[in-house]
Structure formats: structure tokens, C-alpha cells
Amino acid sequence: MLKPKILFLFILIVVGIFFSALWFKNMNTQNKVDKFATQNNERKVYLGIWTGKFRDTEKREVVPSAIQEFEEKVNRKFAIAHFYRGWEFMEDYTMIRDLEKIQDNHWTPMVSVSPYSFEQCGGGNDKKHLYKKIASGECDTFLHSAGNNMARLEKPIFFRFAWEMNVNTIDWSVQKFEDTPQDYIAAWQRMHTIFAEEGANKLVWVFSPNIIIRDSIPYSELYPGDNYVDWVGLDGYNWGDTKSWSTWQDFNQVFRKSYEEITKIALGKPLMLAEVNSVNTGGDKAAWFKDMLEVQIPKKYPKIKAIVFFDENKESQEGVNWTIDITPEALNAFKNGIHNPLYQSALPKDFNLKLN
């Protein structure tokens, strides 16, 4: 017969073994859950592109083969196909035709719409104060017509209205129109409201300023508000030594300050780089791509959800060549970088583009 002290010790050991086994079982289960959660919440960054040959300006239509040829060159499909239109075409059938053609080729469209004065909105001798005119209701007839046309869309698109509005280097900036940030916000909100009234509910609204530069308007003064914005974007370039005012900048130098600022004012909103590239003079473009795609975005910019590259030779307009394949080395660095599994070639069919 076991002595009481020995019996107590035996029971204590048995109980200890039992609870230890239970603890290890729970830990193993939790590890499996954590692993499952990690696998199902892996970060994805969606690839997009604009290439200069994508739009035929004479025929006024998109040319899918331009992006398809580039995809073949880099052996990777892109998720987002980007193009530009004047805003008066929002009420034109060609806008819907182009957007649907892009969708038929298994891309998600992003259209950047530039505002300007024309007969139906802000016409007359005064070409200034367009945002104030929109906000006052002067353009409502046009906006209702445009919204009604855009309501024909059956699949989501990225809709980037009046991008880079914060810098005076672009024709539709707040400064060029001699408007105020409040005018811009009121115009955006009025347009958003009218489009919603017309049933244009497939538009994913992208607020997309330029990176912060000297004399640019702060993002906080222009942001239309969470109820009127679905995504935020940034446009930024490394101009190298192509201009008297520019010097070579790596990716982090181009974007860090702006990234930190815009993510503060648009908490929880998915972020895209809506236009991005580097020149090839003043530094090493291949190294720039390698750093961007293999180090910066994967490790230091966790809130970026999409990257839309700008691929066009603008030497005749800007004196700058933004083509990705300007050298074999740059093309190879780009090609190698985008083959990281982080970068995705297609948005899921049922994916909520707003990521909210």
C-alpha cells in the first residue's frame, strides 16, 4: 500500500502530465490556426501599367495588343490596364466601349479623367474657377448625363478624377484654376453624389495627388473625405539629372514623405502607386527597379496594394524617356522584380476593389 505522501506525489505527477499534454495540444492547434491565418492573409500587390501605345489617338480607342506585347516581353500578365481621357467623354459611348474592351481582355481598367472647361461645363471666356463652378451646380446637367452613361458598367473600374491636383505643373491643378482646396473638395463631393444618384456604382474612386514637392498643397487640405474616396494613390517619379531642378533619387527618397503623409489622412484606405517610374540618366535604372521591387515595397511599404507603372517615351513633350525597356539591364531588373509572388497578375473575380 502506497504511503499518503507518495500517493499524493503520484497523483500530482499524473495531473501535471495531463495538463501539460492539454497545453501542448492547444499550442499545436493555435500554431495551425496562426499558420492558416498567415497563409490566408498573405499580402498581395496588384500590378498595373500604362504604355504609350495603349491608346490610338486618331481612332480614339484603346489598343489591347500594346499591353499584351509588353506582357509577353516580361513574361507576366498585369492586373490593371490604365489609360487617360478628357472628362467630357464620360458621357460618350466610346468611354464605355474602351472600358469594356479592357475588361474583355481580363484586366481591371483604371481611367484617369482630366477636367477642363468646355461647352457643357465652365464654357465661355472665363476658363478659371472650374472646381468652384462644379461645386455651385453649373455643371450638373453634364454630370447627370455622364453619371447615367457610367452607370452602364457592369464590372468595377478604378476611376481617378483630376489626379495631381495639388501641384501647379498640371493644367487642372487647384492653383491653375485659381480655386481653393475647399472648391476642389466640394466639386469632388458633388460629382460623387450625382454619379451615385445616377446609379454609377461600379466606380472605385481614387484620390491621387502628386508626391509632395515645393509649394504643393497639403493632402489634408484636399482630401474629399472617407465617404467619397475608395482608394488613395500617389504619383511619383525619379527625374534623375534630366532637369535643372532634379537630381537622382532612389525609390525611398521619392515616396517616403508622401507615403507617410497620405496614410495618416486616409486611414484604412488601400493605397496604390498610380504612376511610377525612373529615368535612366544620372544613375542606374536597373538598380532603381531592383531596390523598389525587391526591397522597398516588400519590406518597407506594407500599405501599398497596387503599382501602376508609367511606360512611355515623353522626350518630345517633357524631354524625358520613361520607357521601362530603355536598356536591357533595366528591363531584366524589372522583369525579375515583378516575378516575386508578392506581385499579382489578376484581381479575383469577386474581389472587392475597395478592400474595406
Question: What are the pLDDT digits (tens) for 181-230?
Answer: 999 999 999 999 999 999 999 999 999 999 999 999 999 999 999 999 99
Estimate the crossing angle of helix 93-104 against helix 140-150, to 10 degrees: 30
* Alpha carbon distances (Å) from 232 to 88, 108, 185, 188, 210: 23, 17, 15, 14, 11
Helix (H) or strand (E) holding 170: none
pLDDT at 2: 46
Full-prediction pTM beyond 0.85?
yes
Give me the count of residues in the chain. 356
pLDDT at 41: 57
Provide the β-strand partners of residue 206.
231
pLDDT at 356: 44
The segments of the chain whose pLDDT lies below 70 read: 1-41, 349-356
Beta strands in the chain (DSSP E): 45-51, 55-56, 61-62, 80-86, 108-114, 157-161, 203-207, 231-238, 271-278, 304-311, 313-314, 320-321, 343-344
Residue 179's CB is within 10 A of a number of other CB atoms, namely 22
Q: Which fold has domain 43-344?
A: TIM Barrel (3.20.20)
DSSP state, residue 257 = H
- pLDDT tens sequence across 227-237: 999 999 999 99
pLDDT at 24: 40
Spatial separation of the C-alpha atoms in residues 13 and 351, rounded to whole Å: 54
Do residues 353 and 347 lie in contact, with contact meaning Cβ atoms separated by under 8 Å?
Answer: yes
Provide the β-strand partners of residue 309.
49, 276
pLDDT at 3: 53
Spatial separation of the C-alpha atoms in residues 247 and 256, rounded to whole Å: 16
Which triple of cell numbers denotes residue 183? 472648391
| Domain regions of the chain by residue span | 43-344
